[in-house]
Amino acid sequence: MQERAYEKRGEQYLLIKSPPASGKSRALMFIALDKLRNQGLQQAIIVVPEKAIGASFHDEPLTKYGFLVDWHVKPKWNLCNAPGGDNGGKVKAVAAFLASADKVLVCTHATFRFAVDQFGVEMFDGRLIAV
């Protein structure tokens, strides 16, 4: 599944439908890194349905498997790991990320939806949005 998905990495839209624990998160890491490195996208925003799934996107040493770069998410940009509830701070964090030179953000559907509502969809142009 990962190999087939990576072969399609140049497509604008991808639908990866696969059973749980089949490697979708890892496939997305490879695709996102290629889009950032080779396809001119500024940033990657990984949008997950619940906080627990955000843990799938911790740092991974992909060079160990022959890839050119490792997967790295700065702790402050994995909003799924933020303690406690939210009083708008995560949406502010999305704004700070968009204004930064950092490459990867992980957040929940709810956070992303509120960010789009607040900033408009145009704010996300030139970025990979993986839901």
pLDDT digits (tens, 9 = 90+) for 75-92: 999 999 976 666 779 999
How far is Cα 113 from Cα 128, in angstroms, rounded to an integer?
A: 15
Q: Residue 35 pLDDT > 90, yes or no? A: yes
Confirm if 33 and 116 have CB atoms less than 8 A apart: no
How far is Cα 1 from Cα 22, in angstroms, rounded to an integer?
A: 8
Total number of domains constituting the chain: 1
How far is Cα 101 from Cα 84, in angstroms, rounded to an integer?
A: 27
pLDDT of res. 24: 95
Q: Over range 3-13, report the average pLDDT.
A: 94
Q: Residue 113 pLDDT > 80, yes or no? A: yes
Confirm if 80 and 55 have CB atoms less than 8 A apart: yes
Q: Residue 110 pLDDT > 80, yes or no? A: yes
pLDDT of res. 83: 67
Specify the amino acid at residue 6.
Answer: Y
pLDDT tens-digit readout, 38-70? 999 999 999 999 999 998 999 999 999 899 999
Q: Over range 83-111, report the average pLDDT.
A: 91
How far is Cα 79 from Cα 111, in angstroms, rounded to an integer?
A: 9
Q: Over range 3-8, report the average pLDDT.
A: 93
Distance spanning both ends of the chain, measured CA to CA: 18
Give the tokens for residue 33: 């890194």
In sequence order, what E strands does 31-126 have? 43-48, 104-108
pLDDT of res. 55: 87
Q: Cβ of 19: how many Cβ atoms within 10 Å? A: 8
| Domain containing residue 21 | 2-130
